[in-house]
Structures are given as structure tokens and as C-alpha cells.
Amino acid sequence: GAVVSQHPSWVICKSGTSVKIECRSLDFQATTMFWYRQFPKQSLMLMATSNEGSKATYEQGVEKDKFLINHASLTLSTLTVTSAHPEDSSFYICSARVGQGKKNIQYFGAGTRLSVL
Amino acid sequence: QQQVKQSPQSLIVQKGGISIINCAYENTAFDYFPWYQQFPGKGPALLIAIRPDVSEKKEGRFTISFNKSAKQFSLHIMDSQPGDSATYFCAASNQGGSEKLVFGKGTKLTVNP
């Protein structure tokens, strides 16, 4: 399957600072990437859909000014958690879509654990 | 309408046994049904997927059974092994539409040696 790399795998930061998470498709181009958030022992919650060259589409209830998404190239999307607070601590996972239309598949990165002190 | 209901929440199986996880959906526009396997601290990995034009798909020890009329699909893990112990998520999407994956709540599978 296609490889999606996510970096860093774990980050600890102080409250009020910003943290950037990178999601890269290593062996394919991804016009669309997705960002999810997962709380312990819970399912994945879609935060936003990231489209190359255009603004991200955020799910209802997700603060776009808090979670900045940039999809600057066909292989890289970034999620920046701005002015992070302890309640932002979570497991953030990206995925990249391979293929088009009815033949597309989402491959996931390994996730980033964010701990805000 | 957008929910995917998954059961059971947890499952304990003996080595060599069959693990069965069930999912049900409401949205008839869904046309792609993948299963993901997630180990602690890792991202989900695509295990197997099915589209509604077939009723069953098998890959090694993993089989998806799909019942379009009942709007249900299930994952069967044959000859379950301790290494299969993980959380399994079913999902559904409308690939002709928004393509967003809607996930079930997950099933934590424990396979005892």
C-alpha cells in the first residue's frame, strides 16, 4: 500500500505555544488529505479535508483559526495547532487519498501524540 | 443517517478461534466499506475493503461479508492469533460524493494464547 509519513510522532509543548504537524505522501501524489483527531479509546473524528492549492474544509465545530491547515504541495499537508492548551492534547492522524472517484483509498499516517502542559 | 454502528465494543477470543465484528449503516449512498486495524499509539492500517457489488471478499484469514438489503457488513478473522489483538474500525463512505470516511466506534479484540 501507499506510505503516508507523519512527523513528529510525539510532541510536548507549553500552553500558549503553536505546534506544527506534517503529513507527507511518500510514494504518490495526494490532492486530498484528511486530518483526524482521536481521543483515548475512542474513534477517529474528522477535523478537516485538506485540498492542494485551496482552503481546507473544516467539519462543524472545528475552529479553523485554531487548527490551521496548509496543503502547499501534492505531497505535503500541515496542521498547526495555534496557542495550544491542555484540552488540545490528543492523538492527531492524517490520511491521504489515493486514486479518484469510486476507486480511491485512504491511507493513514502513524499519528502524532500532542501533549500540552 | 451518517452513523456507522459497530459491535461489540470489545471481544475476547482464544487463539485459533473466529473473531466476528459487525457493523450497520443507514445511508444507502455509502458505496465503500473498509476495515482498519489499529495498534496502540499507531495510525489505522487498511485491512480489507468491499464495495456493494459483491457479498463477500476474502483476503487470507480476513473476510468481509456484506448484506446490502440489511445494510450490514461484518469482518471475520479466521484462526485468530495473539498478533491480531488490536482495535478494529469499520468505516463507510460515499465515493461518488463527499468521500469522507464515517467510522464506527471501534472494537477492541484480544486474542488469548
What does the pLDDT look like over A58-86, one tens digit per residue?
999 999 999 999 988 889 999 999 999 99
The set of residues, in sequence order, having a beta carbon less than 8 Å from that of B67 and lying 6+ positions away, is B55, B73
Which residue has cell 445511508?
A: B27
Summary count for chain A: helices (H), strands (E): 0, 11
Contact call for B99 and A46, based on CB within 8 A: no
Nearest CA in chain A to B6: A43
- Side chain identity at residue B38, one-letter code: Q
pLDDT value for A28: 87
| Helix residue spans in chain A (DSSP H) | none
What pLDDT is recorded for position B95? Answer: 75
CA-based nearest distance B15→chain A, Å: 24
Q: Which residues of B touch A102 (CB under 8 A)?
A: 31-32, 51, 95-96
Predicted pLDDT at B94 = 87
* Dist. CA A84–CA B106, nearest whole Å: 28
Residue-wise pLDDT for B37-88, tens only, equals 999 999 999 999 999 889 999 999 999 999 999 999 999 999 999 999 999 9
CA–CA distance, A52 with A43 (Å, rounded to integer):
26
- Cβ contact B46–A107 (<8 Å): yes
First to last CA, chain A: 36
Q: Are A11 and A116 in contact (CB under 8 A)?
A: no
Q: B100 and A46: CB-CB below 8 Å?
A: yes
Question: What is d(CA A10, CA A76) in angstroms, rounded to the nearest whole number?
Answer: 19
Examine the pLDDT at A99 and tell me if it is beyond 90: no
- Taking an 8 Å cut-off on Cβ atoms, the answer to whether A101 and B105 are in contact is no
Read off the pLDDT band of A101 (50, 70, 90). Answer: low
Measured between CA atoms, the residue of chain A closest to residue B5 is A43
